Amino acid sequence: MTSISRHLQKTSILAINSLDRRYGSTYRFHSLMDLMKQEGLSVTLSEIEASPLLKLWKAKWDAWTQSYDVLFTQKFNPITLSAILIARLRGKKVLVDWDDLDEGLQSNIFKQWIARTAEKMGPSWSHHISTHSSIIQERLKREHRAYTVIPQGFNETLFHALSPEEKGQAKERWGLQHAEYVVGHLCTFTHGGTLDLDVILDAWGKMDDSKIFFLLIGGGPLEPQIKKQIQHHGLEDRVKITGLLPQAEIPSALGCLDVSHVFMRDHEANRARVSFKVIESIAMGIPVVGSLVGASLDLFKSYVISANAESFVSRTMETLQTPPEYDRETFRKRFGGSSAREPLLLAIQKAISDS
């Protein structure tokens, strides 16, 4: 136990998750909450898999009725803003983990306006903000807001290189034991999660080598539309879809891959993201081919084999023939989940000490 965590031992945290389990932000939120518990802090989790209105009601009810010193939540949206306002009215401290910019991930103008308004109001309502994104850091600097950088980290117990035997078992589980090579992509089947999937499916449609099969790791409400895109590219016999998986099962699916694909168009929402799919793939020793922008490019440029929409196929074939070697131990020290421990405790301390 660190000196900071000893100082915070009597601090009670109300952690309000406003999102569904399928989102990467929820995974990050739960990981940070687990670190708090490991350090001996008292943490009460408030979350529900329900409609936005029920989520809003539960967040407000728990913010008003629970006993806590610090409200911890992620993102700025109507649900979290309501809880933050109640916490402030009760004289509680507020720490918000702001992991990406939601405006560019919304499916219509009204939702974009809501996200933009919430992200404009929210920082001034918080006692302290944590983030992993260099783009959000720049924005907070311009607005003269205090923040702490908590890096995006992978679960070191779950994500590690598989032995040849384990890889064979993983391929058999997903019905890919006959494939000489497996190329894949990890995402949630939501508007934001599939923002750039069309480029990847287009590249897969051009890879006519019968030895290569494809694995889409994910699921969600847009699955019928994704299946139509797969049929459009003539890939229905070569693409497997895992469906939405709990985090503990993602390594089994990733472990099938010989190459992991990623593509990020250059717009503000993507520039703010720090890609979990890149982190988790490299942690398992899987080569990543694709295009990054913004914060992800800053962090992972030396690890990702660069490819644009036109060169996806050729760079992938080169990588399958000559896969790169990664220094996974150095990568683990930089991006392993434990790297978030000290800055998280520091962020809580700063939220408490804010006057």
What is the pLDDT, as a whole number, of residue 344? Answer: 95
What is the pLDDT, as a whole number, of residue 24? Answer: 74
Q: Tokens at residue 233, please?
A: 């590219």
Closest by Cα among 328, 182, 318 to 257: 182
Q: Tokens at residue 213, please?
A: 């099969």
pLDDT tens digits, one per residue of 212-270: 999 999 998 899 999 999 999 999 999 999 998 988 899 999 999 999 999 999 988 88
Is the pLDDT at 1 greater than 80? The verdict is: no
What is the pLDDT, as a whole number, of residue 315? Answer: 96
CA distances, 140 to each of 27, 144, 147 (Å): 23, 6, 7
Task: Tell me the pLDDT band of 108, cut-offs 50, 70 and 90.
Answer: confident
Parallel/antiparallel/unpaired status of strands 212-217 and 128-131: unpaired
Which residues sit opposite 46 in a β-bridge?
A: 16
Mean pLDDT of 95-122: 87
Q: What is the pTM of this model?
A: 0.84
Other Cβ atoms less than 10 A from the Cβ of 24: the count is 22
CA–CA gap between residue 292 and residue 277 (Å, rounded): 12
What is the pLDDT, as a whole number, of residue 5? Answer: 62
What is the pLDDT, as a whole number, of residue 247? Answer: 86
Ramachandran angles phi, psi of 347, nearest 5°:
-65, -40
What is the pLDDT, as a whole number, of residue 113? Answer: 92
Q: Which residue has the higher pLDDT, 212 or 108?
A: 212
By three-state DSSP, how is residue 122 classified? helix
Those residues with Cβ within 8 angstroms of residue 217's Cβ, 6 or more apart along the chain or in another chain: 184, 185, 186, 187, 242, 245, 250, 253, 254
Q: Please, what's the b/e burial string for 87-103 (b: 16 or more CB within 10 A of its CB; e: otherwise)?
A: bbeeebbbbbbbbbbbb
Do 316 and 307 contact (CB within 8 A), yes or no? yes
pLDDT tens digits, one per residue of 119-144: 999 999 999 999 999 999 999 999 99
Task: Tell me the pLDDT band of 9, cut-offs 50, 70 and 90.
Answer: confident
Name the H helices within 126-211: 134-142, 164-173, 197-206
Backbone Cα Rg of the chain:
21
Closest by Cα among 240, 244, 199 to 219: 244
How much is the mean pLDDT over the chain? 91
CA–CA gap between residue 244 and residue 274 (Å, rounded): 21
Is the pLDDT at 106 greater than 80? The verdict is: no
CA–CA gap between residue 328 and residue 335 (Å, rounded): 10
